[in-house]
Amino acid sequence: MSGITHTTALWYASRATGVVTLLLLTAVVVLGILVNRQGRLPGLPGFAVTGLHRSVSLLAVAFLAVHVVTAIADPYVTIGLAAIVVPFASAYKPFWLGLGAVSLDLIAALILTSLARARMSRRAWRGIHWLAYAAWPLAVVHSLGSSADARSGLVLGVLAGCVLAAAVAVAWRLSRAAREVPRARRAAAILSRMSARKAEL
Kindly state whether residue 46 participates in binding other proteins, applying the rule CB under 8 A. yes
Identity at 199, one-letter amino acid code: A
Tell me which DSSP letter residue 90 carries: -
Identity at 25, one-letter amino acid code: L
From 4, 9, 41, 48, residue interacting with other proteins (rule: CB under 8 A): 48
Nearest approach, Cβ of residue 85 and other proteins (Å): 28
> What backbone torsions phi and psi does residue 41 show, to the nearest 5 degrees?
-115, 145
Nearer to other proteins among residue 47 and residue 152 (C-beta)? 47
Kindly state whether residue 41 participates in binding other proteins, applying the rule CB under 8 A. no
Residues 6+ apart with CB under 8 A from 116: none
Q: Which helix (H) or strand (E) holds 53?
A: helix 46-73
| 8-37: contacts with other proteins (CB under 8 A) | 35
Whether the CB-CB separation of 117 and 125 falls below 8 Å is answered with yes
Q: Is 77 helix (H, G, I), strand (E, B) or coil?
A: coil
Kindly state whether residue 119 participates in binding other proteins, applying the rule CB under 8 A. yes
Nearer to other proteins among residue 9 and residue 48 (C-beta)? 48
**Which among 44-52, 87-95, 141-149, 168-176 is the span making contact with other proteins, rule CB under 8 A?**
44-52
Query: Distance (Å, rounded) from C-alpha 65 to C-alpha 59?
Result: 10
Kindly state whether residue 1 participates in binding other proteins, applying the rule CB under 8 A. no
- Interface contacts to other proteins, rule CB under 8 A: 35, 38, 45-48, 50, 118-122, 182-188, 190-191, 194-195, 197-199, 201
